[in-house]
Amino acid sequence: MQPIPASTGAVAASGEPILVQIGDISVTQTTVFTPSGSRALNEVQWSVNDMTVTSQVIPTWAIVCAIVFALACLLGLLFLLVKETVIKGTLQVTVHGSGLVYTTQIPIATAEQVADVNARVNYARTLSSAIPPPPGQGPGDQAPGQNWPGQGQ
């Protein structure tokens, strides 16, 4: 997954520029676009599930060097101590809101890709929190005619 360079000027169907792309999910200043539909950015929540497996293996070059140098001297066996970290798997990014649930799986091969996807989702969350909620749905708002406990009629 490559970031969209600013020079390409990627634009969503609404005419707004795409600020971040996470797999096949596109995010503009006010809207989230997925293949199954779009919603206002302040109406969705994001979740990320890390389904990667990290393992340490002896690289092939170290095994070859150990065999070659073991014949010359036993110090060649020290090459078998070389380890390399391998990451395999996917990150599952889900966006859900009223009437919309969409999940995309992004293949991962490095720790940097995990950090990149998490940073993209956190950026989308930041954009989402910067938009004020519709009237009557913000924290501390109440429906018309509804009294708080202890208030008179």
The whole-model pTM stands at: 0.70
Residue 54 has a pLDDT of 92
- The tens-digit pLDDT sequence of the chain (153 residues) is 444 443 345 656 567 788 999 999 999 988 999 998 889 888 899 999 999 999 999 999 999 998 888 877 778 888 889 999 999 999 999 999 888 899 999 999 999 999 999 999 999 999 888 877 666 555 555 555 555 555 555
Cβ of 26: how many Cβ atoms within 10 Å?
A: 22
The domain limits of the chain are 6-129
Chain-wide mean pLDDT for the chain?
Answer: 81
| 111: amino acid identity, one letter | A
DSSP-assigned letter for residue 8: G
Residue 98 has a pLDDT of 85
